[in-house]
Amino acid sequence: MSIFTLALKSIQSRKTTFLLTFISIALSVMLLLSVQVIKKEANSSFMQSVSGTDLIIGPKSSQIELFLYSVFHIGTPNTLMEYKSYEKIQATKNVKWAIPISLGDSHKGYKVVSTNENFFKHYSFANSKKLEFTQGKVFEDMFHVVLGYEVAKKLNYKLGDNIVLSHGEAEVSFIQHDEL
């Protein structure tokens, strides 16, 4: 009797045990492969989202908080940097460009990204794709805004409409900004 015949007879006598073991191994391999694919896709997505970003500078906080806040606009900052600090960094001779980003305000539940024209000149996503305007242009002063297409469509806004920002993420805020 060959070893294969012996193995086959052993499997036949323990069908349930063999089937459960086979299913367990198959599920384990499938889970392992799925995790690898998800890891690869997450890494690829991450690399695309930070294309062209060499350095992120922010106030004292955890590195992951700063990264999520500045790149993905997730969370709220504990402290903010002063605009003077941005100007000092921008004036450094080894810095080609810098983009100031400040979150913490909203409009009707949508987060507001406070920044300057450098955001539209240098910000890129998904392997160096640039932001494009379907209407309007980059803001020209402190009281102009640029709305994303989906938000403008959902709120039924047109070019030239006035909006009121809220401090925090509430629909309405009665807190006034000192710097405005």
Q: Per the domain annotation, does 56 fall within a domain?
A: no
Indicate the number of domains in the chain.
2
Return the pLDDT at 172.
62
What is the H or E stretch that residue 110 is in? strand 110-114
* Residues 155 and 71 grouped into a single domain: yes
Return the pLDDT at 37.
95
Q: Per the domain annotation, does 109 fall within a domain?
A: yes
* Residues 101 and 33 grouped into a single domain: no
How far is Cα 173 from Cα 111, in angstroms, rounded to an integer? 13
* CA-based nearest residue to 83, from 56, 101, 65, 60: 101
* Residues 162 and 81 grouped into a single domain: yes
* Residues 108 and 138 grouped into a single domain: yes
Return the pLDDT at 33.
97
Q: Per the domain annotation, does 9 fall within a domain?
A: yes
Return the pLDDT at 180.
45
* CA-based nearest residue to 70, from 58, 78, 82: 58
* Residues 73 and 30 grouped into a single domain: no
* Residues 44 and 95 grouped into a single domain: no
Q: Per the domain annotation, does 172 fall within a domain?
A: no
* Residues 44 and 67 grouped into a single domain: no
What would the pLDDT profile of 145-164 be if each residue is shown by its tens digit?
888 888 999 999 988 888 88
Q: Per the domain annotation, does 174 fall within a domain?
A: no
- Residues 64, 66, 68: CA angle, nearest 5 degrees: 65
Return the pLDDT at 59.
83
Percentage of the chain beyond pLDDT 70 is: 90
* Residues 20 and 108 grouped into a single domain: no
Which domain does 10 fall in, by range? Answer: 3-49
* Residues 109 and 145 grouped into a single domain: yes
How large is the average pLDDT for residues 54-83? 81
What is the H or E stretch that residue 178 is in? none
Asked if the model's pLDDT at residue 8 lies above 80, the reply is: yes
* Residues 45 and 70 grouped into a single domain: no
Please, which pLDDT band fits residue 170 given cuts at 50, 70 and 90? low
Any residues with CB less than 8 A from the CB of 117 and at least 6 apart, and which? 138, 139
What would the pLDDT profile of 98-127 be if each residue is shown by its tens digit?
988 888 888 888 888 888 888 888 887 776
User: Hey, what amino acid is at 6?
Assistant: L
* Residues 18 and 107 grouped into a single domain: no
Contact 113, 123 (CB under 8 A): no
What is the H or E stretch that residue 24 is in? helix 15-49
